[in-house]
Amino acid sequence: MRYILYNMLLILLAPAGAGYLLCRRKYRILLRRFNTRVPRFTQERVIWIHGCSVGEVMVARILVNALREKYPEAALLLTVNTVSGNELAKTSITGAQITFAPFDLAVCVRRFLNKARPAILLLLETELWPGLVREARRRGVPVVVVNGRLSPRKLPKYKKYGQLMPPVFSWLDHVAAQEEVYRDRFAALGVPLDRISLTGNMKYDGVLMEVPEPVKAALREAMGYDEQSMVLIFGSTRPGDEVLAAACWKALKPDFPRLRLIVAPRHLNRLDEGLTAFKGESVTLRTEIRAGAGDKTAGVMMLDTLGELGVMYSLGNIAVIGGSFFPGVEGHNPLEPAGLGIPTVFGPFMGNFPDAAAMLLGAGGAFQVQSGDELIALIRSLLTRPESARMVGNIGRNVVIKNQGAVARTLSRIETFL
């Protein structure tokens, strides 16, 4: 009954949603989700992987490569929900057909399933859509959550509105959870414990561990950096983070004239907001540098491209994790800079990556600060003591290496359903 009511609500909302997309040129492409284009597969077995946006696409890239090697005879289908996710997937993933996921209306999902005929549906992290799960189960298609996690923000919402929503958690065939805390959260929402396994975080396996020196040298040259440049990177910034980055820049620049700053907004639609925080400062854009029109003397570069943050981290002396200094977001992935041996700093809100943060901190491979003043003081100390900073970076890299292996464990769980 709840599933029927859910679909009725979506039907009522669909005209307004379509109208909204029509009025915004950038998002009109999402209208395809009402009748998604599905490639014609000649292979007998189709493995369907679904993620939401940029973050899940980064995990999908790891999983696609592993599945391609283990099941070379199978077709791989990757679906995404967002324009940015689609763009990144098509530029960074090979070996899988990529398209938009259907809207969660039963009629849209059924039409998609008729065309795709998947042998299994793999949902990345928290992509739990009642329509996808229910309609796949009705066809006898196993539904498995991989790299499963539930943020502390989502848990109370699921509990609060759980009685109004279809029982999607009880419909899951299996959850391959990243950590014990996520296993417990899935269980609290209705997934039987015997359907949950601990496989670890695949992001450890997919962490960029090295960038070739010629690539780094070319980037340094393009951006006007030299061997004496001190590069501070604020990665995946959210609202408030750019203001914090600007405060750090203004406080530290007088004492460190070779300091350079890279700021990478998590969402590019906030680029203007980020630039506003640096009003009056010399700022250039990554796209300007690519076009040969960037100002190499600018102290601040705003990263306005997708998929380059990992490489940019390799240029850094210090990395600061966005989304971790103010309530609401709960941090982004600290493993990306840590894997490259870059000293990593984050704020008090790391609920999205509790185990990764705890392991890095416990080993002495990262720093956590509680305020902007503490952040400025720590960065000043690290810039003054580069040998100590490098030691912390090396410890963080070793933490990443020791925790790899989640992909193999995840493939083992998937194999039982194929």
The CA-based angle 360-362-363, given to 5 degrees, is 70
The reply to whether 213-402 shares the fold of 21-201+405-415 is yes
100 forms beta bridges with 80
CA dihedral 178, 400, 264, 228 (to 10 degrees): 170
Q: Which residues of 297-327 are buried (b: 16+ CB within 10 A; e: fewer)?
A: ebbbbbbbeeeebbebbbbbbbbbbbbbbee
Please report where in the chains the tokens 């946006």 appear, as a residue: 53
Q: Give the domain 21-201+405-415 fold.
A: Rossmann fold (3.40.50)
148: Cβ contacts below 8 Å, ≥ 6 apart: 125, 126, 175, 176, 177, 178, 182, 186
pLDDT the model gives residue 14: 76
pLDDT digits (tens, 9 = 90+) for 124-133: 998 889 999 9
Q: Reduced to 3 states, what is the DSSP secondary structure of residue 68?
A: helix
pLDDT the model gives residue 254: 97
**Residue type (1 letter), 257:** P
pLDDT digits (tens, 9 = 90+) for 208-263: 999 999 999 999 999 999 999 999 999 999 999 999 999 999 999 999 999 999 99
Q: Give the domain 213-402 fold.
A: Rossmann fold (3.40.50)
pLDDT digits (tens, 9 = 90+) for 183-214: 999 999 999 999 999 999 998 998 999 999 99
The whole-angstrom separation of Cα 314 and Cα 342 is 7
Q: Is the pLDDT of residue 71 over 80?
A: yes
Burial of 54 (0-12, 13-18, 19+ CB in 10 A): buried
What are the helix (H) ranges across 172-259? 180-188, 202-206, 213-223, 241-252
Q: Give the domain ranges of the chain.
A: 21-201+405-415, 213-402
pTM over 0.85, yes/no: no
Q: What band does 352 get if pLDDT is binned at 50, 70 and 90?
A: confident
pLDDT digits (tens, 9 = 90+) for 16-44: 878 887 788 878 888 888 888 898 899 99
φ/ψ (deg, to 5) at 230: -105, 115
The whole-angstrom separation of Cα 83 and Cα 101 is 11
Q: Is the pLDDT of residue 162 over 80?
A: no
Please report where in the chains the tokens 């292979």 appear, as a residue: 43
